Structure 1
Amino acid sequence: MTSLTATENAAIERAADAPMLSQVEQWAAINSGTGNLAGLKRVAGELADAFSVLPGEVRLVAADPVESVDAAGQVNIVQRGDHLHLRVRPDAPVQLLLTGHMDTVFAADHPFQTLKWLEPGVLNGPGTADMKAGISVILAALSALEASPLAERVGYDVMINSDEETGSQASARLIAELAKGKTAALTYEPALPDGTLAGARPGSGNFSVVVHGLSAHAGRNPDDGRNALLAAADLALRLATLKSPTLKVNPAKIDGGGPNNVVPDSAILRVNMRPATPEAMVEAEAALRDAIAAVSREHDVHCHVHGGFNRPPKPLDPAATRLFELVQGCGAALGLPPIGWNATGGVCDGNNIAACGIPVVDTMGPRGGAIHSADEFLIVDSLAERARLSALTLMRIAERGTV
């Protein structure tokens, strides 16, 4: 176990004393589903006020426009909420990126809207673990760093986006811009209940394949038609066969069809693909094109593909492994149970950051679980635990000047 210096002790205790629970309760009480622009605006305003205690200027950055294919096959522009950005000491020798997201998966009309205690120390509520608690930890750790004599050695950007839960298409450009030149990055998705971190992650791509067929009478002349729904179903089955140890494929939905007596002339297949490696991603793109070409030819239909791989795979390279080991060493110095990390099938903004060549640990948030469900919970004691861990990690990167 590495001993703590007096400076480190002072910082980690300051971080632990931050009013994180009250912040989580306040922020989680506001619905901020990705599509709830009014709720996101309220949360962004509260976060801007909270982060204004740090040096630098807090700004709200307009979201990039996002295209979406509706059930009729039409491409529409979807508006997302503003993202929060804070930049501090951009000329310091060590530059870090800390990221989180203010949105949740729970829409404004979702029944899961309130907080309750499941048992002492376990708080249930929308966005408690994923990830308003993580945002409170970012603020606590940085506030502790700012009170430390090491603060002048390190600069940082904080980015809290509004669309992480839907793939960060409206913030991907901002993430890539802020990741440039950084020494390391920390992202505050929740750790598992036992404290395990997410290590390697697959990539993720969402595709909408619009199939254009030809309508005809289902009884009089069905052979004159080109059944788009049948072609979409055939494509779904072909794509499902692409599953392998390095690729997960989930044909998720088919929109289309109509009256039983009409051969359907349009359908939209929605599919998610998760390649484990960059090579698997390239192969998946080629296989998707080949399957679409075969279906188009055999069913005499025309297909248009919308979407792509918005989350590149995140393997653990040597720099990322060193950062994980630094966090692990900080946990040992704090007397925490050994911190490990495992590969996971989920994706997050850590994928995008790693694709910029920046080492990132993307589960620095408090411990919790059952995320994306009405059983979501936060282990409240881990707020102080993870604030200490983050503060110490930041300080040791500042001391070393590297990971």
Structure 2
Amino acid sequence: MTETMDAAILERVRNEPMLAHTRAWAAINSGTRNLAGLKTMAATLADAFSALPGKVELVEPAPATSVAPDGHVSALDHGRHLVVRVRPDAPVRMLFTGHMDTVYPIDHPFQQQVFLDPNTLNGPGVADMKGGLALLLAALKAVEASPLASRIGYDVMINSDEETGSFSSSALIADLARDKVAALTYEPALADGTLAGARGGTGNFSLVVHGRSAHAGRNPDDGRNAIVAASDLAVRLFAAKEEGLAVNPARIEGGGPNNVVPDLAILRINFRPSSPEAIARAQAAIDDAIAAVATARDVRIEAHGSFNRPPKPIDAGAGKLFDLVKQVGAGLGLAIGWKATGGVCDGNNIAAAGVPVVDTMGARGGAIHSADEFLLVDSLPERAALSALTIMRIAEKGGL
């Protein structure tokens, strides 16, 4: 019976219009800050995913803030997030996640699609991740057409802010991850099919330094130079880097005319911890540097930000899920491998909720976040089949 069901699923995914969906969705600019484009994208996806037998809803984003170059903290608007709930009372439930936003704003010159060859489509978001969303839908429709569909329930979450850190959707992800046996996320695989294994974490901070202005020639000692203090912070925090903790002071904003001691500066800084212990050390370094610089430079410092994506190790549960994907792939003639990466995604947040996750189940492609981004078209049915059969194996076994 399994062979017959597998053959039916393979036939079903081959007939799904994944490339057409990918191209139509990639034609909609849905950069994270393009709220009008995200609204169109969310409505389009809601219509497409309504083919599944569940409740489709658009969830309002949670509040999030941003620190402007003038130090002002304001609300940051995001698009709504798509959630589909199918068989919420099923004893075995999974979570599938993706994102509708891209890194290409409405005024970015990269807006068009072109075939570089019959199997290679160059276009904004075709791999990251309009193609992944298309094959996810195809996989789920194939599962729903199988006689085992009733054995498994699931939630689908497609957020609008993954590319900028999922600040307005992280609580939603944590809520949906609760009580799930496993999760699949549709970030693109590498062009050769390699998946992301363990991931480090990330933390982004804006450290706002308030000094005191003065005339740079007449009474400079009456001033408190915020640029110097921010530079002192950057040097101290960069010295905290170690094995398992990368530190990148990325930008200092502030200052003004050459004859004025600057009274405001903002240090933008990124941390990449590989473990919870590294997060603790990084937080201690931030706290210590702020206290030391505030005292030494006689300035006031406000810290904004957080470690918004925890590290994602390959624990026993994740290892079992990877092994299952590898086994299913072998049955399809695919050699599935994975390797650790310094990149982050919503898979980090799902793993932090204690749910095994494979987060690169999307299409094969590459050069993402650049005008050279490409999708390998033949990976759409290939990866849809991989997902559908993985889900079916979990349904058959009642879990991992």
Scaled by the length of structure 2, the TM-score of the pair is: 0.99
Show the 5 A alignment for 1:368-379: 368-379=365-376
| 2:390 equivalent to 1:398 | no
Instruction: Kindly state the Cα deviation for residue 224 of structure 1 after the two structures are TM-superposed.
Output: 1.2
Question: What is the match of residue 92 of structure 1?
Answer: 90
Q: CA deviation at 1:202?
A: 0.8
| 1:145-164 C-alpha deviation (Å, 9 max, x unpaired) | 00001100000000000000
Written as runs of structure 1 = structure 2, the 5 A alignment for 1:4-403 is 5-336=3-334, 338-403=335-400
C-alpha distance in 2, partners of 1:16/1:264?
62
**What amino acid maps onto 1:261 in structure 2?**
N
Q: Distance in 1 between matches of 2:216 and 2:364?
A: 56
Percent sequence identity over aligned pairs: 67
Q: Assess if the C-alpha contact under 8 Å between 1:35 and 1:107 holds in 2.
A: yes
CA distance in 2, matches of 1:255, 1:40: 29
- Maintained 8 Å contact 1:295/1:301: yes
Give 2:361's aligned amino acid.
Answer: M
**Corresponding residue SS for 2:124:** coil
Corresponding residue SS for 2:363 = strand
CA contact (8 A) 1:4 1:333 kept: no
Give the SS at the match of 1:54: coil
- Distance in 2, matches of 1:219 and 1:208, equals 30
Q: More displaced, 99-108 or 7-16?
A: 7-16
> Counterpart of 1:218 in 2: which secondary structure?
coil
Give the count of matched residue pairs.
400
Q: Which runs of 4+ in 1 moved over 4 A?
A: none
Instruction: Give the deviation of 1:172 after TM superposition.
Output: 0.7
In 2: Cα distance, 1:149 partner to 1:241 partner: 59
- Per the TM alignment, residue 93 of structure 1 is displaced from its structure 2 partner at its CA by 1.6
Residue type of the alignment partner of 1:39:
G
Structure 1 CA distance, aligned partners of 2:117 and 2:230?
48
SS of 2:199's equivalent in the other structure is: coil
**Coordinate RMSD, CA, aligned:** 1.0
- One-letter amino acid matched to 2:354: G
Q: Is the 8 A contact 1:207 1:272 kept in 2?
A: yes
Farther off after superposition, 187-196 or 232-241: 232-241
2:32 maps to amino acid: T
Shift in Å, 1:4: 5.8
Superposed CA offset, 1:301-351 (max 9, x none): 110000101101111100001100100000001111x21111101000000
Output the amino acid matched with 1:153. R
> C-alpha deviations, 1:10-33, integer Å up to 9, x for none?
112212321000000000001000
Give the C-alpha shift of residue 198 in structure 1: 0.4
TM-score, with length taken from structure 1: 0.98
Please list the CA deviations of residues 102-130 of structure 1 after superposition, one character each: whole Å capped at 9, or x if unmatched.
Answer: 00001111111111111221001110000
Amino acid at match of 1:223: D
